Structure 1
Amino acid sequence: MERKKGSRKVMDGVKAAHDGMDAGPRKKFRKPAAKTFDGTEIAEGVRKGSRLHLGKAITLLESSNPVHKKHGQELLSSLLPHTGNSIRIGITGVPGAGKSTFIETFGEMLTERGHRVAVLAIDPSSSVTGGSILGDKTRMEQLARNPNAFIRPSPTAGTLGGVHKKTRETMLLCEAAGYDIILVETVGVGQSETLVRGMVDMFLLLVLTGAGDELQGMKKGILELADAIIVHKADQSNAELAKKTVSEYKQMLHFLQPATEGWKTRALPVSSLENKGITELWEMAQEFVETAKAGGQWTRRRQFQTKDWFHSMIMDELHSRFFENAQKRGQVKELEQRILEDNMTVSQAIADLFE
């Protein structure tokens, strides 16, 4: 009985407390007001070299949210007068060539000479989350901590050739932020070499020592794209082999069309581990820039790249708007089924779709 009385008292107390709460005025909980977009603040932050604001600006450009995309384009337009003042260098190579190690050593050397370096690393995307797999900030820890460097990994997000379609716009934002050297690293999946070559001033191809079999399998077109071939990991026991590899590439380059008019593609050994050949590479890059500007190729190449970018964006927008139409999406599914059932050819389906 005592336990029942005690339990009843407890329940009475709980009820009284509950009734007391009901008796008083209820507080209204409101959702915090959504922050308004302040493009001026972000633009000023980017111009002052703030990595935080630069990251926010790039996120706006890469977003698939229509509102974010609109804000991103407005922001980019306001910063356009402050762009175009960098040297853009593309870097590719076979897996295992040591691209990240090379970029970190190269970037450290450039910052020591007073340059500000932005690294746009195109990572392969996860098929599950769509995010970057390689994580370049973890592979370039020292450079990531450098106050004069900025590293931005971008997932390919299914883009052909492993190049994010916003990479060109990201380069412009980095230039507006005062980065005078832009390094674009690609995963090197074949088609990406052509795409990266179409957005940079100078294109570097990293290869490994022991060129024999590699030369046999190397596509002539890739070698023609390169402004310089870096025989990487030319250190320790590989040093002598690297010299031999450089000679083999030089012989092959002698018969190839140069990538840039007025410039003969060169090959040189480089060791990021022992910091050898890095300074020579930078001197060569400066010579390349002087040659390209003196002959007018620098301006012509950038104008061609801008025109190519414009046409690529037209195709992207047409594709996007086409599949935003619910009626067209339904028609595509219906025509797919008819094609699979052999009731219609692909050409007939396309004709029906665009009538």
Structure 2
Amino acid sequence: MKPNKKSALEEKKPLVSPETTSSAAIQKIKEKRAKKTNPEHLVRQILAGNITALSQAITLVESKNNLHLKTANHIINNCLPHSGNSIRIGITGVPGVGKSTFIEALGNYLTTKNHRVAVLAVDPSSSITKGSILGDKTRMEDLVKNENAFIRPSASGDSLGGVAQHTRESIVLCEAAGYDVIIVETVGVGQSETAVHSMVDFFLLLKLAGAGDELQGIKRGIMEMADTIAINKADGDNLKAAKLAKVEFNRALHLYPLKVSRWQPKVVLCSALKNEGISDIWNVVKLYISQTKENNSFSDKRKEQNTYWFLQTINDALKQEFYSNSNIEIELQKRILQIENSKISPFTAARDLLQLYYSSKEI
């Protein structure tokens, strides 16, 4: 009697159960994700110039998750020896001055000169105003597509101190990734100019020529910070007004004390829309870097900036801890009300709250 032949379905047994296959697939995905966020892996990828890894690292820097921040610190410390070799340029100007167009024109020009350009922003107001840099990324269509450029919008909804610190750390990461020109934009609101000035080598003020007094409305502090003033949209019917504005700004700049670096600020005309004057501005930047490196003020300034950010980070952390203390949160409004009603002096109220904070830490 012939043995019964089994059907193909009966003969073929599953090698692995569906449950096992599913578990294995999930585990593989988890391992892949873990590798992507592994600090050593990210550092290697950043040093290789991988933009995805750079973006992931900056996201970790901007996170409020303590575990993420710990990972970010590890990445930054490992990238630090590979940073510092860029030219850091801060750019400020009022809305409508053409910052987006200018940054794109400068960025594209620099990439034709074999530079790699990173564009960062200090914009603590972006969650409310939608911030210029968020629009800039969509308006800088050519620069976004440029393989030698990297544009990173500011994290929204954070304080100026938080955004500034994240930007400072992002500079280190971008330099480690091989970007040799870092452009930091400020929206020109409040103290953001000061924050940007404290993290760059060269500070550029963009202005427009218009009718009337060109110097009216410019804060003295911003003029003092500027290493160069670029008068944008100096073309067509506006060229004559731009030339007159250049004369006025030059006169004003000569009234200020000479900078510690011995650099005399320049005034340059440009038209970002027509790509005119962009090379002139870059030549001024190179002259500034050469001069300040020669007299050692370049390295001195960077050392001062590093010390400033060290102390500022401590100050910000202590302030955050103080105001997030539950006892302080309860008593703060009470003291403010007492001060408003002249029941207690601001100084006594401050000392009371500090004593309350110290007492709560001793428990």
> Normalization by structure 2: what TM-score?
0.83
Give yes or no for contact 1:123–1:134 (8 Å, CA) kept in 2.
no
Give CA deviations for 1:35-90 in whole Å, capped at 9, x if unaligned.
Answer: 54411111111111111110000000010111111110111111111010000000
- Would the alpha carbon gap of residues 276 and 162 (structure 1) be closer, same or farther in structure 2, given more than 3 Å must change? farther
Residue 188, structure 1, aligned to residue 174, structure 2:
no
Q: Which amino acid aligns with 1:180?
A: D
**1:40-119 correspondence to structure 2 within 5 Å:** 40-119=40-119
CA distance in 2, matches of 1:91, 1:45: 29
Give yes or no for contact 1:89–1:204 (8 Å, CA) kept in 2.
yes
Paired residue for 1:7?
none
Q: Which runs of 5+ in 1 are unaligned?
A: 1-26
Q: Which amino acid aligns with 1:76?
A: I
Residue 139, structure 1, aligned to residue 139, structure 2:
yes
Paired residue for 2:167?
167
CA distance in 1, matches of 2:340, 2:183: 45
Give CA deviations for 1:207-242 in whole Å, capped at 9, x if unaligned.
Answer: 001273331322222111111000000112112221
Percent identity over the alignment is 46
CA distance in 1, matches of 2:169, 2:106: 24
Give yes or no for contact 2:124–2:160 (8 Å, CA) kept in 1.
no
Give CA deviations for 1:156-176 in whole Å, capped at 9, x if unaligned.
Answer: 634348953311101000000
CA distance in 1, matches of 2:143, 2:324: 41
Residue 237, structure 1, aligned to residue 229, structure 2:
no
Paired residue for 2:150?
150
Give the CA RMSD over aligned residues: 2.7
Paired residue for 1:320?
320
Residue 246, structure 1, aligned to residue 253, structure 2:
no
Aligned residues: 331
Kindly state the Cα deviation for residue 347 of structure 1 after the two structures are TM-superposed: 2.3
- Would the alpha carbon gap of residues 100 and 258 (structure 1) be closer, same or farther in structure 2, given more than 3 Å must change? farther
Paired residue for 1:266?
266
Give yes or no for contact 2:211–2:241 (8 Å, CA) kept in 1.
no
CA distance in 2, matches of 1:106, 1:260: 27
CA distance in 2, matches of 1:304, 1:211: 40
Secondary structure in 2 matching 1:213: coil
Q: Which amino acid aligns with 1:247?
A: V
Residue 344, structure 1, aligned to residue 344, structure 2:
yes
- Higher mean alpha-carbon deviation, 145-154 vs 330-339, is at 330-339
Q: Which amino acid aligns with 1:302?
A: R
CA distance in 2, matches of 1:258, 1:45: 44
Q: Which amino acid aligns with 2:349?
A: A
Q: Which amino acid aligns with 1:105?
A: A
Give yes or no for contact 2:50–2:177 (8 Å, CA) kept in 1.
yes
Residue 353, structure 1, aligned to residue 353, structure 2:
yes
Paired residue for 1:24?
none
Give yes or no for contact 1:60–1:71 (8 Å, CA) kept in 2.
yes
Q: Which amino acid aligns with 1:251?
A: R
CA distance in 1, matches of 2:101, 2:152: 16
- Would the alpha carbon gap of residues 131 and 217 (structure 1) be closer, same or farther in structure 2, given more than 3 Å must change? closer
Give yes or no for contact 2:227–2:264 (8 Å, CA) kept in 1.
yes
Q: Which amino acid aligns with 2:207?
A: V
Secondary structure in 2 matching 1:218: coil
Kindly state the Cα deviation for residue 329 of structure 1 after the two structures are TM-superposed: 2.7
Residue 309, structure 1, aligned to residue 309, structure 2:
yes
Q: Which runs of 5+ in 2 are unaligned?
A: 1-18, 356-363
Paired residue for 1:21?
none
- Would the alpha carbon gap of residues 77 and 334 (structure 1) be closer, same or farther in structure 2, given more than 3 Å must change? same
Kindly state the Cα deviation for residue 134 of structure 1 after the two structures are TM-superposed: 3.6
Residue 277, structure 1, aligned to residue 277, structure 2:
yes
Secondary structure in 2 matching 1:205: strand
- Would the alpha carbon gap of residues 258 and 142 (structure 1) be closer, same or farther in structure 2, given more than 3 Å must change? farther
> Normalization by structure 1: what TM-score?
0.85
CA distance in 2, matches of 1:286, 1:270: 17
- Higher mean alpha-carbon deviation, 200-209 vs 254-263, is at 254-263
Kindly state the Cα deviation for residue 126 of structure 1 after the two structures are TM-superposed: 4.6
- Would the alpha carbon gap of residues 81 and 93 (structure 1) be closer, same or farther in structure 2, given more than 3 Å must change? same
Give yes or no for contact 2:134–2:154 (8 Å, CA) kept in 1.
no
Kindly state the Cα deviation for residue 128 of structure 1 after the two structures are TM-superposed: 6.1
CA distance in 2, matches of 1:240, 1:345: 57
CA distance in 2, matches of 1:132, 1:186: 9
- Higher mean alpha-carbon deviation, 253-262 vs 67-76, is at 253-262
CA distance in 2, matches of 1:97, 1:291: 29
Give yes or no for contact 1:193–1:222 (8 Å, CA) kept in 2.
yes
- Higher mean alpha-carbon deviation, 204-213 vs 161-170, is at 161-170
Give yes or no for contact 2:161–2:316 (8 Å, CA) kept in 1.
no
Secondary structure in 2 matching 1:189: coil
CA distance in 2, matches of 1:305, 1:240: 39
CA distance in 2, matches of 1:241, 1:277: 16
Q: Which amino acid aligns with 1:82?
A: H
Give yes or no for contact 1:135–1:153 (8 Å, CA) kept in 2.
no
